[in-house]
Amino acid sequence: MLKYIIPLILFIILAVFLALGLSLKPGEIPSPLLNKPAPQFSAPKLNAPEEKLTPADLKGKVWLFNIWASWCVSCRAEHPILNQLARQQAVVIVGLNYKDEPINAKKWLDTLGNPYNVSIMDQDGRIGIDWGVYGVPETFVMDKTGLIRYKHTGPVTAEDVQQIFLPLIAKLQTES
């Protein structure tokens, strides 16, 4: 009897591990920045490069920090979702135009719509490194005190907005 039970148990253990392996998403690397203050930056605005934006300017507001680029294919898929979210005016959306040409970025916003309250530029990718960005698009949810409360890697879907973003934003809006 034992002769049959031991291989069976080994098989079950192996199957469980393989099943866990299948459900893992190796593309999603947990960010060590969660619940930490926003990494500092002082970045020129896309539409007015002489003006700078820093995280301190957004104190007291719940905001999304969306990293995007005109060369990024999945950003295009995500864009209508962001436009829709922007129309609801539930949250301030800040865009980080990552390693992009300002002309291309402006053209993109002109043709596809601009969901961002403000877009800032990170042409050499340094702000990206400070925020641990590795796959555009990425979206951070920031609370009123300037802490990173959530990080989403890859394009945000309509489902993500309904199930994750809107509930979290509503919760953060009630926090002081």
Partner 1 sequence: MKHLLFVFLLMLSCSIYAVDSRQLSDPKQQESYETLTSELRCLVCQNQTIGDSNAELAADLRRQVYEMLEQGKSKEEIVRFMTDRYGDFVLYKPPFKGKTSVLWIAPVVFLLVGLITVFFVIRRKKAVASLHPDAGALQRDVEKQKKIRSLLEKGDRS
Question: Cβ atoms within 10 A of the Cβ of 112, count?
Answer: 15
Tokens of 107: 């053209």
Beta carbon nearer to partner 1, 46 or 69: 69
The kind and range of the H/E element at 14 are helix 2-23
Interface residues with partner 1 (CB under 8 A) are 26, 29-33, 39, 99, 124-126, 128-135
For residue 29, the minimal CB distance to partner 1 (Å) is 5
Beta carbon nearer to partner 1, 125 or 167: 125
Beta carbon nearer to partner 1, 31 or 119: 31
Distance CA 125, CA 41 (A): 12
For residue 171, the minimal CB distance to partner 1 (Å) is 25
117, amino acid identity: N
Distance CA 110, CA 114 (A): 7
For residue 85, the minimal CB distance to partner 1 (Å) is 26
Distance CA 173, CA 90 (A): 9
For residue 17, the minimal CB distance to partner 1 (Å) is 11
Distance CA 158, CA 82 (A): 9
63, amino acid identity: W
Beta carbon nearer to partner 1, 30 or 60: 30
